[in-house]
Structure 1
Amino acid sequence: MTPREVAALLAYVVKLDPRLALDDQAAAGERLAQWCDLLSDVPATAHGWDAARVARDYIARNPYRIQPSDVSRPWHAHKADAMSRHVGTFEPTAHPEVDPDDQFGNAYVAALRAERVAIASGQQAPTSHRALTAGPAAAEVERRLAALGEYMPRTVAQALAEYRPQRAERERLARADAPDPLTVACTWCQAPEGEPCRGRSIRPGKDPQQRTRARRGPHPSRVEDAQTHYARRNRQEAHA
């Protein structure tokens, strides 16, 4: 923070806790210098950070008079958390002049260092894990994978995929967060949710309603219903 920002923060703190008011100008100047020294590497505001809010929360929850370290310590904890959540995936599209394959080039190293400095200083939000590891889709994927059964090592699942193609396809759709036709009932063959579509096998002298077999794939109408359900779910999550 700049001295002006620190002075504004101190004025806000004194307003919340009048016990901190000082009548002596020399003492007030000395305290301002102390706060400026300890908060010189702490921003007033940053991504997910507001020094005034931190000071307010401290005063609201603690009977002790606030010290500059009560603001600097939370900032360093916030910075460490942001850096731990950053996956370090440098986006070359933001710097077209940088060759992402030349990891030993000066331009690439400089851009990568600037990105980390921006995150550490709060000027840029960290790049967290994407796709299925975070966000609203993660919970849905976990639910769908859990509904498919117990955990199985990936190597074993790959070896068995040839012998259970339907389950392998459902697992692939769950990992990709793509519409799974078996999450809805089939309006064509009346197959319930979770069960494969059925095709009729008519033989002479047999009741065609009783002679059914599982289809290798879902009916087209079921695929369309699953896509509609998937799109509706995404819209609901976007407005939640």
Structure 2
Amino acid sequence: MDRREIAALLAYIGRLDPRTIRTDQGEARDQLAQWHELLDDVPMVTPHGWDARVAVRQHIRTSPYQILPADIARPWESYRRERLARHSDPTPSADPDDQAAWTAELAGARRAVAAGTAQPAQARAITSSQDGIDPRLQARLDQIGSCIPPAARSALAPYRPARAAREAAVAQGLPDALSVRCEWCLAPVGEPCRRRIGPNDGVRAITPRATPHPGRLDLAAQQAQHTEQAQQPALA
């Protein structure tokens, strides 16, 4: 606030609490200089929710003590902290290779949010399935058939053999063995089979198998057969 705004704020405070009024010209000048020195970086009002007069009214309504500059500066600092806590830095439009411009744009956005001249940038929430898929993403998925391109999937196959074997089996029309629980190694649905000496022998191993146990394959085939039979219309 500049000196004119401080003077207007002191006049507003005097109307609500006559104890703050200074009738002597020298005392009034000293009071104005003191408040301006302490509230120089606090705005009178911002476009997004801050108004120093609201802080004044709140203090006079709830406190029996005469208002001080700190009673306005404290709510202002709380306002700044709350806005910065809700702010997620958006990606700057500057060239990432230009470190000075990149940093300056980030700092400028934070200063604008803290000063109340810009709204905090919220992080984008994860959309639910009800919102649907972006049309451009859906077109890309229709083109390549998966969110992972075939070339990348082939390059990743040596590093995840269990998933590669599962995808190859499904592509050949075989039942998905990981859709059922393995009764041999007790691997849950969706997890690869594990190596162990025998069932229920208390020995646990953490090394995953590239291929599921034969019993798990048979169980998945039986479940797929039962599902297919259930989907067929009942004969009269």
TM-score scaled by structure 1? 0.52
Q: 2:3 is matched with which residue?
A: 3
Distance in 2 between the 1:200 and 1:91 partners?
A: 53
- Tell me if 1:163 matches 2:179: yes
Q: How does 1:56-205 map to 2 (within 5 A)?
A: 56-92=57-93, 98-99=94-95, 101-102=96-97, 104-132=98-126, 163=179, 201-205=232-236
Amino acid at match of 2:121: T
Contact in 2 for aligned 1:90/1:115 (Cα 8 Å): no
Contact in 2 for aligned 1:44/1:50 (Cα 8 Å): yes
Distance in 2 between the 1:26 and 1:72 partners?
A: 25
Distance in 1 between the 2:9 and 2:108 partners?
A: 28
Displacement of 1:91 in angstroms is: 4.5
Displacement of 1:51 in angstroms is: 0.6
- Deviations for 1:28-76, whole angstroms, at most 9, x for unmatched residues? 1111111101101111112221111111111111111100110001111
Q: 2:150 is matched with which residue?
A: none
Distance in 1 between the 2:115 and 2:234 partners?
A: 74
Distance in 2 between the 1:126 and 1:42 partners?
A: 19
Displacement of 1:200 in angstroms is: 7.1
Distance in 1 between the 2:106 and 2:42 partners?
A: 22
- Once the two structures are aligned, what percentage of the paired residues are identical? 39
**Structure 1 pair 202–29 and aligned structure 2 pair: CA distance change class (3 A):** same
Q: How does 1:6-45 map to 2 (within 5 A)?
A: 6-45=6-45
**Structure 1 pair 120–203 and aligned structure 2 pair: CA distance change class (3 A):** closer
Q: How many residues align?
A: 143
Distance in 2 between the 1:88 and 1:5 partners?
A: 32
TM-score scaled by structure 2? 0.53
Displacement of 1:163 in angstroms is: 3.4
Distance in 2 between the 1:90 and 1:40 partners?
A: 32
**Structure 1 pair 24–123 and aligned structure 2 pair: CA distance change class (3 A):** same
Query: Helix, strand or coil: the match of 2:19?
Result: helix
Unaligned 5+ runs, structure 1: 93-97, 142-161, 165-198, 206-240
- Deviations for 1:180-214, whole angstroms, at most 9, x for unmatched residues? xxxxxxxxxxxxxxxxxxx9743333xxxxxxxxx
Distance in 2 between the 1:163 and 1:9 partners?
A: 70
Contact in 2 for aligned 1:45/1:51 (Cα 8 Å): yes
Displacement of 1:128 in angstroms is: 2.4
Q: 1:50 is matched with which residue?
A: 51
Contact in 1 for aligned 2:92/2:102 (Cα 8 Å): no
Contact in 1 for aligned 2:7/2:32 (Cα 8 Å): yes
Query: Helix, strand or coil: the match of 2:102?
Result: helix
Distance in 2 between the 1:87 and 1:38 partners?
A: 30
Amino acid at match of 2:119: A
Unaligned 5+ runs, structure 2: 132-177, 181-229
Q: Please identify which structure carries the higher strand content.
A: 1
**Structure 1 pair 84–204 and aligned structure 2 pair: CA distance change class (3 A):** closer
